Amino acid sequence: MAHRLLEAADLSIAVAPAVRSCPLCAGGDHRLFLPITVSRGPAAGSYELRRCTTCGLVFVEPRLADPLLATLYDQDFYFSTGWPYRGFAEWIMREIQRTRRRRVQRYVPSGRLLDIGCGDGRFVRHMAEHGWQATGIDFSAAALTLAQSRDSAARFLYGSLFDHDFEPASVDLVTLWQVLEHIGEPREFLGRCRDLMRPGGVFVAAVPNIEGLSARLTGERWWGLDVPRHLVHYSPRTLCHGLEEAGFTVLKVNHLSLQYDPYALLHSSLDWVFTRRHFLSDLAKQQIAADVSPLECAYNVAALAVLGPVLAPLCVVTSAAASCFGRGGFIEVFARRDGRGPVPKLSH
Ligand SMILES: [Zn+2]
């Protein structure tokens, strides 16, 4: 399997050791699921999504080395600085935090929260405002700087879950909003989460669904793939399996995501006609690449003007229908930490 990757870079530095086993079940047999070419940016090159024949997890190969991966999480990854209609966007973001809080409080009404991959800390601050002992953790210094810049009772930590000593069985609620797919060692990670949660505590993860209708319809263009930043790609089955093996009992799988699914489907559909990928999000963030000529830009804007009003409602309806049939483009999984003893050894 040959990969053209980072033409000017030393592959031994750029690429982590080849994945030889499934990061979820440690099975050694996996097959090509989807070839992906990233044509622009520092991670341009050819990648493969591989599917484990044992547990079904899909994961990216080659996986970039952590220092290079870290460079793909710049400030704009977390919080765009160029969004138009900022007031409206802020209102939407507040409503998203409120919706998340209501959903998790159905399972655990109050207590100690750890939000992993907290980004700019909106959810953590929102929960602190509603009486939670809320802590956020993120490996992005830029995100943490913004999170800590606001007055809040929330606490923020820098680094990964393995960089800090948490009191065992002390956390009531662990949340990961579109974060778990960025973690390349889910077995170890879920075990670590379990150890720091109290028995009966609740774990919530929202992830793209590789078996959702949107992924099936748009293939390699699906926005939820985000190669090579997304290291693993879950389905409801693989995520539930991983959680159960790590000592959790799955409570609910929610397939409805009005925040992500319709936009992701629209974005991925328009990429079929745009001259370059991600033109819609680049335009929304007012970050059109410098090498886009006025003529090329005019074509893409015209394509958006013609197709956008037709596709947008179709994407809303399609996403909603898919969620009704358990094929949502994004899922939220709620799981309870079991009360049984040490973390069980995962089966291969
Ligand atoms: Zn596996």
Q: Compute the distance between CA of residue 15 and CA of residue 31 in angstroms, rounded to an integer.
A: 20
One pLDDT digit (tens) per residue for the chain, 348 residues: 334 333 433 443 455 555 579 999 999 999 999 999 988 778 889 999 999 999 999 999 999 888 788 778 765 565 544 555 567 778 888 999 999 999 999 999 999 999 999 999 999 999 999 999 999 999 888 888 888 888 888 999 999 999 999 999 999 999 999 999 999 999 999 999 999 999 999 999 999 999 999 999 999 999 999 999 999 999 999 999 999 999 999 999 999 887 788 988 998 999 888 988 888 888 877 777 778 888 988 898 998 999 999 999 999 999 999 999 999 999 999 999 987 544 444 443
What spacing in Å lies between the alpha carbon of 26 and ligand 1's midpoint?
6
pTM summary value: 0.85
Q: Which of 172, 78, 185, 83 is nearest to 132 (CA)?
A: 172
Residue-wise DSSP of 261-289: HHHHHHHHHHTTTSSSTTHHHHHHTT---
What spacing in Å lies between the alpha carbon of 269 and ligand 1's midpoint?
30
pLDDT at residue 7, rounded to an integer: 40
What spacing in Å lies between the alpha carbon of 20 and ligand 1's midpoint?
11
Q: 314: how many CB neighbours lie within 10 A of its CB? A: 13
Is residue 240 a contact partner of residue 250, using CB atoms and an 8 Å limit? yes
Residue-wise DSSP of 116-136: ET-TT-HHHHHHHHTT-EEEE
Please tell me whether the peptide bond between 84 and the residue prior to it is cis, using omega within 30 degrees of 0.
no
Q: 303: how many CB neighbours lie within 10 A of its CB? A: 16
